[in-house]
Amino acid sequence: MNKKKPKIGVVGTGHLGKHHVKHLSSHKGVDFAGAFDTNSKSLNNVCEEFSVKALKDIDELISVCDAAHIVTPTNTHFDIAKKFLENRKDVLIEKPMTNTVEEALSLIQLAEKNNCIIQVGHIERFNPVINELKSLVEEPHYIEIERLAPFQARGTEVPVVLDLMVHDIDLILEMVDSPIQNIGASGAKMMSETIDLAHAHIKFENGAVANLKSSRIAQNYIRKIKTYQKNLYSITDLMIPQTELYGLENNNKFSSDAKTQLIKTQSGEKTLYYEKFIPKNNDALLEEINDFVRSINLRSNPIVDGQAGLNALKIALEIENKIFLNE
């Protein structure tokens, strides 16, 4: 006997919500319940494009679904998610989870009370090039991440720290197994009423350091990650995508295809290994949705649960506060 497919709907049919509708409406493991948006033009266009039902309000969606994707502006996440959780519906909330730590904690407590699942949309956790990088780099003592984008009005209701940098905060919290010791930050407003450029310097108790740079007024999209650990250096470009790995030891990180070069140094000759890793062309959003469906079916924690969303939000808000203090 086949297990009943979860009925999942979408709240928000904007730029990102449209992609959620696209994947869910064709997902073999999902019974798509329909979509709702306060913008009727956007709602009708998306529902017509993917031949799905446009619902009249959130209450109607709640009445026909088991779970929902909340793909709306951040300042609406709390109220919408709270309503679904109060009705014992699982939720996938786009990042950042909420506007405040208090709101995030309240949702986590409500989900626990009603035995509901919260997943937060930190999509980079499902990026194949990121997952390959994490398999290669296990104990980084330095991480540098640049996430730059051309300006667009969409998303500027929140600072760039919550819009872009929060992705990288979530990544470093997963990559570095140590509490944070200190955070320094600076930034500036340029094109909007919120912070458009931000730099954060994060030091961990184990000595690891992360430098994060985010901007939404760049000429081009840039997504680069550099890491250093003992005898191993990596450069990852998420836009290509690929990871270049340099090492002084093989350490089972390099394949037989790795290039080697004998280099004379002041301390003697050293063998430098080099290899380029190209990830599988997996769709990160689809992988994220697959994880949500798995969590619903098994009643288990998703890869990025509410606590992970809260952890990233806490650091993002601390960085934002430090930037405002330094203005």
Question: Looking at residues 118-130, what average pLDDT do you find?
Answer: 97
Domain presence at residue 45: yes
Give the residue among 149, 153, 215, 145 at the shortest CA–CA distance from 173: 145
Q: Indicate the DSSP class of residue 193.
A: S
Report how far residue 93's alpha carbon sits from residue 85's, in angstroms, rounded to the nearest whole number.
12
pLDDT at 1: 41
Q: Which residues of 190-217 are buried (b: 16+ CB within 10 A; e: fewer)?
A: eebebbbbbbbebebeeebbbbbbbbbe
| 259-293 per-position pLDDT tens digit | 999 998 888 899 999 999 999 889 999 999 999 99
Residue 54 belongs to a domain with what CATH number?
Answer: 3.40.50.720
pLDDT at 280: 86
| 4-44 per-position pLDDT tens digit | 899 999 999 999 999 999 999 999 999 999 999 999 999 99
Total domains, the chain: 1
Domain presence at residue 90: yes
Most confident range, picked from 89-93, 154-158, 245-249: 89-93
Q: How confident is the model at residue 232 (pLDDT cuts 50, 70, 90)?
A: very high
pLDDT at 155: 63
Does the structure show a pLDDT above 80 at 124? yes
Rounded to two decimals, what is the model's pTM?
Answer: 0.93
pLDDT at 228: 97
Domain that holds residue 111: 7-122+284-305
Domain presence at residue 176: no
Q: ∠38-42-48 over CA atoms, to 5°?
A: 120
- Report the mean per-residue pLDDT for the chain: 95
CA 162, 133, 219, 153: dihedral to nearest 10 degrees?
-30
Domain presence at residue 86: yes
Domain presence at residue 189: no
Residues 6+ away with beta carbon under 8 Å from 79: none
pLDDT at 268: 87
Q: Write out the two tokens for 277.
A: 């890793």
| 137-169 per-position pLDDT tens digit | 999 999 999 999 998 877 667 889 999 999 999
Does the structure show a pLDDT above 50 at 241? yes
Domain presence at residue 60: yes
Tell me what percent of the residues of the chain surpass a pLDDT of 70: 98
Domain presence at residue 12: yes
Strands (E) in the chain, as ranges, are 7-11, 31-36, 67-70, 90-94, 118-121, 142-148, 180-188, 197-204, 209-215, 222-229, 232-237, 242-247, 259-265, 268-277
| 169-208 per-position pLDDT tens digit | 999 999 999 999 999 999 999 988 889 999 999 999 999 9
Residues 6+ away with beta carbon under 8 Å from 12: 20, 37, 69, 70, 71, 72, 94
Question: Looking at residues 209-220, what average pLDDT do you find?
Answer: 95
Q: How confident is the model at residue 49 (pLDDT cuts 50, 70, 90)?
A: very high
Domain presence at residue 182: no
Does the structure show a pLDDT above 90 at 226? yes
pLDDT at 193: 85
